[in-house]
């Protein structure tokens, strides 16, 4: 038995992995990773895998980045953790100052959480509580887009719409209002992204006009609906939404957990619409993929609604034991240093162009309906019929075939159902992008070679997030 097998067997005796049907590992080998360096992950037998998905969208400057490593090492000798209620520390203060300075003007207060889902919970609770404190307790509902994903804790699931995550737990979820997504995949032939996104805003306008007196906030993933299949839309929708939220006195929450920090081509997706949300949720790339940390930024107007004498009980009573952990804040500060010093956003433009050119040939593939891209996120949608965009049945697990082929070639590509996507670290080279495009092309050929064996309606699309 090789080293990989030894570690795999030990793992399967004790671990329960996320987003996984564990029975799959009776046939699909689990891969234990010993070390990482740059874009590469290496198993216990020396095989390397190019991390094309940034280890679940978190790692932007490569594994074992020496600058982030050193900042954490320096911090651990100073202070590993301290309660953030009644106490503070330098990394949290400095990180908050820098986040306020780099995000859209008006976001002046930073509240820390431990991960993306928790950050969404903070934003939802803070919005709801704001209206309680300001004499409008009837404003308690949330509006979300179809095909959206905001996390897997209860309130975060409530404002999501990916059936794999919500259907089982629907009895636990909040009553939310779902509005059709401005996703441009199904736009009419000949219609551009902007026109389609404008047209789809009519449903949101109608919803806000009819229900604004009971709506607390609208929550969106700006520009890219990640777990819903990397579906994308035009920034004009965000601009129209900001204007409508102002008109109807409704909060706007931007979930930039997956798309913040350069992924869409600008530091934050909201910049492309020239707007400022009332709540900006950040996580994932915030620490360069090193440690769990999330930040919910909001306005001083929201902050002041909670600022009062203790007996009024208006304080925002929400906490996590590791809130604002110094080691995580140190990693985030090092990550922001790299953004500030290395001209990352501009460099990414060339990498994004290479991703586009390297995959352009797939537009002619008989089973590729669309190649779509926003900045450093590119998605290739496999379909059973190109003309009608009829999706493959999820039971076919076409994406899993791409995943398995990529592993055999030394790449970590983890499709979302039948959507193959690149979301690589920003330290990837043009040649490595070409390699990923080659591997993806081979995998798509293999995955689409066989005819259907499961009969389901042609328009069936469950929005499943990972291969399986």
- By the 8 A CB rule, do 48 and 42 touch? yes
Is residue 283 marked as binding?
Answer: no
Q: d(Cα 45, Cα 315) in Å, to the nearest integer? A: 54
Pairing of the two strands 177-179 and 141-145: parallel
Give the DSSP letter string of 186-221: TPPTT--HHHHHHHHHHHHHHHHHHHGGGEEEEEE-
Is residue 148 marked as binding?
Answer: no
Determine the 3-state secondary structure of 138 from DSSP.
coil
Determine the 3-state secondary structure of 179 from DSSP.
strand
Is residue 96 marked as binding?
Answer: no
Q: d(Cα 290, Cα 48) in Å, to the nearest integer? A: 20
Is residue 116 marked as binding?
Answer: yes
Q: d(Cα 282, Cα 294) in Å, to the nearest integer? A: 6
Is residue 183 marked as binding?
Answer: no
Is residue 367 marked as binding?
Answer: no
Q: d(Cα 120, Cα 111) in Å, to the nearest integer? A: 11
- By the 8 A CB rule, do 398 and 382 touch? yes
Longest CA span, the chain:
68
Is residue 414 marked as binding?
Answer: yes
Give the DSSP letter string of 220-272: E-SSEETTTTSEE--THHHHHHHHHHHHHT-EEEEE-TTTTTTTTSSSSGGGG
- By the 8 A CB rule, do 79 and 89 touch? yes
Block residue for tokens 């798309």? 259
Q: d(Cα 230, Cα 173) in Å, to the nearest integer? A: 24
Is residue 321 marked as binding?
Answer: yes
Determine the 3-state secondary structure of 315 from DSSP.
coil
Block residue for tokens 């020396």? 46
For residue 359, report the phi and psi dihedrals to the nearest 5 degrees.
-110, 0
Task: Please give the angle made by the CA atoms of 230, 234 and 235, to the nearest 5 degrees.
Answer: 115
Is residue 284 marked as binding?
Answer: yes
- Count CB neighbours of 437 within 10 A: 22
Q: Which residues are annotated as a binding site for pyridoxal 5'-phosphate?
A: 116-117, 255, 320-321
Q: Which residues are annotated as a binding site for substrate?
A: 56, 149, 284, 319, 414
Q: Which residues are annotated as a binding site?
A: 56, 116-117, 149, 255, 284, 319-321, 414
């Amino acid at each position: 038995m090789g080293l990989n097998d030894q570690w795999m067997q030990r793992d399967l005796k004790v671990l329960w992995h996320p987003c996984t049907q564990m029975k799959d590992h009776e046939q699909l080998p689990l891969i234990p990773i010993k070390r990482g360096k740059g874009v590469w992950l290496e198993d216990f037998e020396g095989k390397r895998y190019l991390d094309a998905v940034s280890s679940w969208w978190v790692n932007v400057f490569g594994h074992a980045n020496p600058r982030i490593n050193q900042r954490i090492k320096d911090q651990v000798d100073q202070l590993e953790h301290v309660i953030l209620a009644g106490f503070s520390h330098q990394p949290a203060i400095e990180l908050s100052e820098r986040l306020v300075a780099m995000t859209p003007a008006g976001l002046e207060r930073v509240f820390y959480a431990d991960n993306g889902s928790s950050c969404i919970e903070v934003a939802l609770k803070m919005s709801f509580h704001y209206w309680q404190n300001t004499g409008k307790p009837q404003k308690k509902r949330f509006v979300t887009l179809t095909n959206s994903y905001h996390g897997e804790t209860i309130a975060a699931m409530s404002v999501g719409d990916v059936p794999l995550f919500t259907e089982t737990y629907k009895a636990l979820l909040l009553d939310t209002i779902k509005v059709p997504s401005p996703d441009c995949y199904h736009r009419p032939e000949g219609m551009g992204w902007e026109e389609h996104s404008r047209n789809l805003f009519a449903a949101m306008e109608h919803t806000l006009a009819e229900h604004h007196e009971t709506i607390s906030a609208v929550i969106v993933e700006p520009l890219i609906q990640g777990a819903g299949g990397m579906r994308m839309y035009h920034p004009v929708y965000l601009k129209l939404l900001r204007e409508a939220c102002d008109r109807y006195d409704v909060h706007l929450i931007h979930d930039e957990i997956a798309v913040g920090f350069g992924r869409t081509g600008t530091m934050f997706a909201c910049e492309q619409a020239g707007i400022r949300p009332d709540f900006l949720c950040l996580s994932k790339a915030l620490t360069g993929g090193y440690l769990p940390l999330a930040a919910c930024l909001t306005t001083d107007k929201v902050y002041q609604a909670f600022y009062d004498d203790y007996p009024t009980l208006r304080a925002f009573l929400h906490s996590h034991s590791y809130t604002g952990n110094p080691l995580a804040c140190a990693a985030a500060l090092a990550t922001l240093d790299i953004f500030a010093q290395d001209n990352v956003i501009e460099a990414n433009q060339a990498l994004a162009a290479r991703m586009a050119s390297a995959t352009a040939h797939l537009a002619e593939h008989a089973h590729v309906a669309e190649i779509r891209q926003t900045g450093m996120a590119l998605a290739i949608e496999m379909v059973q019929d190109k003309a009608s965009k009829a999706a493959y049945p999820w039971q076919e697990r076409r994406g899993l075939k791409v995943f398995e082929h990529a592993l055999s070639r030394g790449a970590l590509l983890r499709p979302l159902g039948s959507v193959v996507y690149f979301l690589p670290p920003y330290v990837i080279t043009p040649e490595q992008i070409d390699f990923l495009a080659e591997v993806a092309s081979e995998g798509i050929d293999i995955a689409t070679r066989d005819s259907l064996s499961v009969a389901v309606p042609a328009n069936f699309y469950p929005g499943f997030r990972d291969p399986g």
